């Protein structure tokens, strides 16, 4: 898990990167929770999701938004963080130009940034939103959502109630053939604290990735 510095729009971005030797390994980028509430790329949910993708043969990148850890700059409440994510994805795509699939993953605040990036980057095949704060941020820009993905949250989340995530999954307009799956993890809070809850989250995400990659690769073959 090499340490990495990416030249970002506001200065350096501190990152960690797992590189798969296969030239066509799929890629995934993971965006961390809110910087002003302790969110970093070393958040436990981010860390475990990172390895969920590593275990499946992905080349995976996680990084600190501007002003977090050794990343330069200052919190920008969205626009700057979106620029950081776009730059990091550029770096990842240059590192793996022959990748056979591209995924974006967000945790809490990171989902809001990830979905904005999804709308701007048609090469993203699928996404994972963990504890998307649909009650705190406006996701109406997903009109329509261009890719299938997974929304997952805990049923004891006091920050993001399950009802708000369910409403997001139902009310989001989607393109033809796009499906949003919503999983709820029993007894899990916003941070998925507890071995059982974290394992259940990893099972949910891992199962979705396994299933969806089959579909993505089949579509690539047909095309």
All domains in the chain, ordered by first residue: 3-222 (3.40.50.1820)
pLDDT tops 90 at residue 223 = no
Is the overall model pTM greater than 0.95, yes or no?
yes
pLDDT, tens digit (0-9, with 9 covering 90-100), for 53-78: 999 999 999 999 999 999 999 999 99
Q: What is the mean pLDDT of the chain?
A: 96
Q: CA 188 → CA 34, 132, 176, 198, distances in Å? A: 19, 14, 33, 8
Tell me the percentage of the chain whose pLDDT exceeds 70: 99
pLDDT tops 80 at residue 35 = yes
pLDDT of residue 222: 73
pLDDT of residue 178: 96
In the chain, which ranges are continuous DSSP H helix?
44-54, 79-95, 109-120, 162-171, 195-222
Tell me the percentage of the chain whose pLDDT exceeds 90: 96
Provide the 3-class DSSP secondary structure of residue 181: strand
pLDDT of residue 1: 59
pLDDT, tens digit (0-9, with 9 covering 90-100), for 145-167: 999 999 999 999 999 999 999 99
Exposed, middle or buried by CB within 10 Å (0-12, 13-18, 19+), for 61?
buried
pLDDT, tens digit (0-9, with 9 covering 90-100), for 103-157: 999 999 999 999 999 999 999 999 999 999 999 999 999 999 999 999 999 999 9
Please give the Cα distance from 169 to 43 (Å, whole number).
25
Q: What is the mean pLDDT of residues 2-30?
A: 96
């Amino acid at each position: 898990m090499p340490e990495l510095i990416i030249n970002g729009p506001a200065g350096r971005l501190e990152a960690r990167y797992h590189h798969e030797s296969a030239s066509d390994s799929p890629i995934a980028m993971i965006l961390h929770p809110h910087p002003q509430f302790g969110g970093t790329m070393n958040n436990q949910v981010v860390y475990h999701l990172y390895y969920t993708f590593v275990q499946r043969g992905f080349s995976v990148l996680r990084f600190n938004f501007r002003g977090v850890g050794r990343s330069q700059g200052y919190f920008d409440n969205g626009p700057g963080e979106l620029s950081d994510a776009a730059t990091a994805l550029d770096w990842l795509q240059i590192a793996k130009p022959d990748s056979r699939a591209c995924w974006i993953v967000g945790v809490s605040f990171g989902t809001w940034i990830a979905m904005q990036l999804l709308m701007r980057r048609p090469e993203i095949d699928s996404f994972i939103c963990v504890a998307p704060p649909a009650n705190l941020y406006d996701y109406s820009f997903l009109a329509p959502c261009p890719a299938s993905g997974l929304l997952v949250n805990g049923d004891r989340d006091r920050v993001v109630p399950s009802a708000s995530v369910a409403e997001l999954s139902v009310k989001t307009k989607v393109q033809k053939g796009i499906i949003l799956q919503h999983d709820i993890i029993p007894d899990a809070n916003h941070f998925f604290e507890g071995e059982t809850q974290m394992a259940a989250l990893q099972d949910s995400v891992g199962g979705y990735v396994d299933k969806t990659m089959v579909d993505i690769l089949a579509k690539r073959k047909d095309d």
